[in-house]
Amino acid sequence: MVRILMLLVALWAAPALAADEELFPQVVMETSKGAITVELDRFSAPLTVAHFLKLVDGGSYDNTLFHRVIAGFVAQGGGIGVDGSARKEGDKLVNESGNGLSNSTGTIAMARQNSPHSATRQFYFNLADNTNLDPNGRWGYTVFGRVIGGDEVLQAIGNAPTATDAALGMPDVPVKPIILKRVYRKAAKP
């Protein structure tokens, strides 16, 4: 039922694309470890991609931290500024996890709280095949793209030493801050 609903949403959203919008836009994430290029999947996760691109276009992800890194699991970021302050969360997203995309190695997905429709801005990269995060008789975590360049950068982020950070009050924080310096859309091919 969820997959049928997601397909209907995707079919509804696809014709609404402006002439200059791509179905699979790409973004570049310049980090303190190097650049990662991500291809987004607007067909499978139209609401999530639109929301993510709105934040990208507004510079909202610039100068944020990868604040949660668990080797062999995920690298999460996008919600905490380099000064340690939380970025404005904004609107909650409808969970699009039943879209057929899996939390496999090298994909990007929306982080959320326990409530299925609580994702706002934080994202994570899957550092392994995390199929336990896919929907399976319950809500999963929305995958909305995949890494197409910079695998070695993502691997370097995933291997960074971490510790509990007293100032942030969080475990699994990189000992040496990993900064998401800038995120922008890659120019479409003519």
141 in any annotated domain: yes
Name the 3-class secondary structure at 139. Answer: coil
Tens-place pLDDT, residues 25-75: 999 999 999 999 999 999 999 999 999 999 999 999 999 999 999 999 999
Which pLDDT score, from 0 to 100, does residue 189 have?
Answer: 63
30 in any annotated domain: no
For the chain, the domain total comes to 1
pTM score: 0.89
Q: What is the mean pLDDT of residues 165-182?
A: 96
Tens-place pLDDT, residues 111-127: 999 999 999 999 999 99
60 in any annotated domain: yes
169 in any annotated domain: yes
40 in any annotated domain: no
Range of the domain at 57: 2-14+46-185
Whichever domain contains 148, its CATH number is 2.40.100.10
Task: Residue 58: count other Cβ atoms within 10 Å of its Cβ.
Answer: 9
Regarding beta strands 107-110 and 143-149, do their DSSP bridges make them parallel or antiparallel, or are they unpaired?
Answer: antiparallel
136 in any annotated domain: yes
Percentages (nearest 5) of helix, strand, coil residues in the chain: 20, 30, 50
Task: Evaluate whether 59 touches 160 at the Cβ level (below 8 Å).
Answer: no
